[in-house]
Amino acid sequence: MVGNDDLAARMDTSDEWIRTRTGIRTRHFVSAGMPTSLLAAEAGARALQSAGTADVDAVVLATTTPDRPCPATAPEVARRLGLTGRPAFDVSAVCTGFLYALTTAAGMIASGAAEQVLVIGAEAFSTLIDPQDRSSAVVFGDGAGAVVLRAGEPGEPGALGRIVLGSDGSLADLITVRAGGSEQPRPHPDADPADRYFSMRGREVFGHAVTRMTESARAALAHTGWQPDDVDRLVGHQANLRILHAVAEQLDIPVERLVIHLDRVGNTAAASIPLALAHAHETGELTPGARVVLAAFGGGATWGATALTWPALKSA
């Protein structure tokens, strides 16, 4: 675990700045050489146990930090889980990745291609961050969370509503790693060394995040027919406490109904929503039948939201 004071000891920041500007107190960083697939497999194993099953028909992994640029990381995660032979692939939508992966899994189930899909969000974001970039280094953390999505009846606890998604490629520069892809495969002699690190224009992202998370949550609510007051828990992408409060206020959902987990883990990108769900399940904030709204915004830009009722689970 890495506390705010640990970061303040190695860069120009303070516990007070991080807590008041973001709400974050601690986060986790992987140790050197620990791949995303290991984090993902651990979360996947717990989700399988919680769902009371050892097998699924597919593995979908949302990540921004694959083990390697090629191949995808999900087949390795499936191998680690004893699921070799099952279809397994990655989905890339940065902090909205979990909702995009959930949509893919729901589509596989609706089409009859699968009955049960393991959906994982896993990130080793610390491997992308410039350790001297105080604006990103204090915000992001590493972690993984997972769920098992299975075929069921629309009215049963655990039923997933319509997932509303969107994107705007004109905002790609707001959250980016410039180098290492086909556009800039090898360091150019004139390239800025910072190009190989993650960069985020935080203040601009903040505004888009509030607007898009609010709009998509409203659209997801409209599909279910729920009013804001019907929502028991709002689980937003855990980027910044001030963003979560602003979204809740704009939606007219009391801030007491927000699930807050970022104080412990920071912004874990695609892992953020499934980790927050697991935390809220463990603390008893989520009980079977609870009406839950999920909403996220991330690089791309991408965004999305959905509404669901919480299922009866065996364990966390």
Q: Which residues are catalytic?
A: 95, 237, 267
Nearer to ligand UT7, 50 or 136 (CB): 136
Contact between 243 and ligand UT7 per CB under 6 A: yes
Quote the DSSP letter at residue 299. Answer: T
> CB 140 → ligand UT7: shortest distance, Å?
8
Q: Using alpha carbons only, give the angle 122, 126, 132 rounded to the nearest 5 degrees.
A: 160
> CB 55 → ligand UT7: shortest distance, Å?
33
Nearer to ligand UT7, 116 or 216 (CB): 216
Q: Which of 13, 294, 308, 35 is nearest to 165 (CA)?
A: 294
Q: Which stretch binds ligand UT7 (CB under 6 A): 15-23, 50-58, 117-125, 145-153?
A: 15-23
Which stretch of DSSP H or E encloses residue 110? helix 97-111
25, 46, 134, 196: which one binds ligand UT7 (CB under 6 A):
134
Which residues, 62 to 121, sit near ligand UT7 by CB under 6 A? 95
Cβ(223)–Cβ(314) under 8 Å?
Answer: no
Distance CA 120, CA 257 (A): 25
Contact between 203 and ligand UT7 per CB under 6 A: yes
Distance CA 146, CA 119 (A): 6
3, 17, 28, 67: which one binds ligand UT7 (CB under 6 A):
17
Antiparallel, parallel or unpaired: β 26-27 and 2-3: antiparallel
Q: Which stretch binds ligand UT7 (CB under 6 A): 36-44, 142-150, 163-171, 236-244?
A: 236-244
Cβ(65)–Cβ(36) under 8 Å?
Answer: yes
User: CA-CA distances (angstroms) from residue 99 to 9, 26, 225, 302?
Assistant: 36, 25, 20, 10
Contact between 166 and ligand UT7 per CB under 6 A: no
Antiparallel, parallel or unpaired: β 302-309 and 291-298: antiparallel
Contact between 216 and ligand UT7 per CB under 6 A: no
Q: What is the number of alpha carbons within 13 Å of residue 61 lying toward its C-beta?
A: 29
Nearer to ligand UT7, 49 or 211 (CB): 211
Q: How many binding residues for ligand UT7 (CB under 6 A)? A: 20
Contact between 128 and ligand UT7 per CB under 6 A: no
Contact between 302 and ligand UT7 per CB under 6 A: no
Distance CA 229, CA 252 (A): 8
Contact between 138 and ligand UT7 per CB under 6 A: yes
Contact between 202 and ligand UT7 per CB under 6 A: yes
Q: Which stretch binds ligand UT7 (CB under 6 A): 108-116, 185-193, 235-243, 284-292?
A: 235-243
Q: Which of 215, 213, 209, 223 is nearest to 307 (CA)?
A: 223
Contact between 21 and ligand UT7 per CB under 6 A: yes
In this structure, which amino acid lies at residue 114?
A
Cβ(304)–Cβ(295) under 8 Å?
Answer: yes
Nearer to ligand UT7, 74 or 247 (CB): 247
| Contact residues: ligand UT7, CB under 6 A | 13, 17, 21-22, 95, 134-135, 138-139, 202-203, 205-206, 209, 239-240, 243, 267, 297-298
